[in-house]
Amino acid sequence: MKAERIGNNRIEKGEGKAQTIGVVGLGYVGLPVAIGFSKQYKVIGFDVDKQKIDLLKKHNDITREISKEELAASDIYFTSDQTDLSLCDYIIVAVPTPINEHNEPDLRYLIAASETVGRNLAGGATIVYESTVYPGATEEICIPVLEKTSGLKSGKDFFVAYSPERINPGDRQHTFQQIEKIVAAQNEAVLEKVAALYQSVIEAPIYKAESIKVGETAKVLENTQRDINIALMNELAMICERVGIDTFDVLEAAGTKWNFLPFTPGLVGGHCIGVDPYYLIHKAKVVGYTPVFLEAARKINDSMAGFVHRTVLDDIIRFKYDLEKLTITVMGITFKENVPDTRNSKALEIVQMLLDDGLSVNIYDPVANPEEVENELGISLTERKNLQPADILLVLVPHQEFLTMTAKEISGFVKKDRALVFDLKNIWRNHQLPSFINRKTL
């Protein structure tokens, strides 16, 4: 197949309405995809989580990515009854693909979703996988499961394509409709059909990849590249800390060169950048290659929570704080800014380390769900109005609310005799804080 872009030629609305699109998995990826297609097609949104389905029927999205108004206007048929998938002409699979405790791909959700689709597969239907996988997984794992559970033959009785998701949680600019979409398929005819399908609801261009493996590899590369660049910045931060200079001063100076890439140090968690490289690492080892560079980047980024923790402890000793009286306020524990998800949160790891040290820690996060954090993690959040002035303020996740705080507001979170503000992402660089505050960054 020849890789190419196609323009914004749309399927006519009447033709589109004759098609039914199923979306399996209604999380950060699947729900925006379902909303996008519902503007022109009949959509069946399926998820095994019945509680989530009940909430969506009431126009409530726990990810906070889709508003009540959008859900109310979408006219999606939300269901946890898998037999409803038999009505679909296309089924888009958007389930999580995490890693296990050994940092190996965990394909349980993907296999289970494929089994569900296979049991309810209508002849002639097309299945499009959007979940992130290692190169070859769609054809080596998913298609055999579909064939076994359906009793049908791929490429003859049903068809398979791959279109890697590019949803960025918390980003209101790069939405499903605005992001250029990669599509790949098992043959030319399916590729053209799926490309036209996505182009009918996406304003950005469609890129037709050479093969499914190319599409799969492109996806894991996108986040692996970011992981590597952030790892470079994190290693720089560790060096600068030993040299005794501010990392962000170095980045500002280096950034005056026209081709310097604007990456910054930080915590790499969540279920994309901190996970996807392991899928490429896994495949590399399967084919007999040890990806030393990729593994080194992962090791550096996974060590950052420990680095921040050790830095805080060093400052506690340096400033001779009384451990029995010391109080710490942590701002932000989700895996990234403006997103309520705490899965694989490195900020949360730092909090747990401090609690394990027996230190007094108050946590404020305006985005995280307090009940979920309490029930799932056993950690209580403190409302902003109830925060008492602390000796140390750790700003770990740059939520929008924190970006707009004034110097006076910041000062109100700490004790007035002396205090340490650890501004991890340097969001308050332009604030003139009082002299009693020692401010640090990575």
* Residues that are catalytic: 272
Strands 77-79 and 90-93, by their bridges, are unpaired
**Which segments within 116-190 are labelled E, that is strand?**
126-129, 159-162, 181-185
Cα–Cα distance, 357 to 408 (Å, whole number) = 31
Query: What is the distance, to the nearest Å, from the Cα of residue 148 to the centroid of all Cα atoms in its chain?
Result: 32
CB crowding 319-356: b at 16 or more within 10 Å, else e = eebeeeeebbbbbbbbbbbbbbbbebbbbbbbbbbbee
Cα–Cα distance, 413 to 395 (Å, whole number) = 11
Strands 437-440 and 159-162, by their bridges, are unpaired
- For the chain, the straight-line distance linking the first and the last C-alpha, in angstroms and rounded, comes to 47
Among the listed residues 316, 324, 346, the one whose alpha carbon sits nearest the alpha carbon of residue 334 = 346
Cα–Cα distance, 211 to 162 (Å, whole number) = 9
List beta partners, residue 206: 6, 181
Q: Which residues contact 148 (CB under 8 A, 6 or more apart)?
A: 118
Q: Which residues contact 406 (CB under 8 A, 6 or more apart)?
A: 431
Strands 4-6 and 206-208, by their bridges, are antiparallel
Q: Which residues contact 344 (CB under 8 A, 6 or more apart)?
A: 269, 270, 271, 274, 275, 335
100: how many CB neighbours lie within 10 A of its CB?
A: 11
Asked whether 357 and 292 are in contact (CB, 8 A), the reply is no
Asked whether 80 and 53 are in contact (CB, 8 A), the reply is yes
List beta partners, residue 326: none
Amino acid, res. 432: Q
Cα–Cα distance, 201 to 55 (Å, whole number) = 25
Among the listed residues 20, 3, 30, 7, the one whose alpha carbon sits nearest the alpha carbon of residue 202 = 7
List beta partners, residue 208: 4, 183
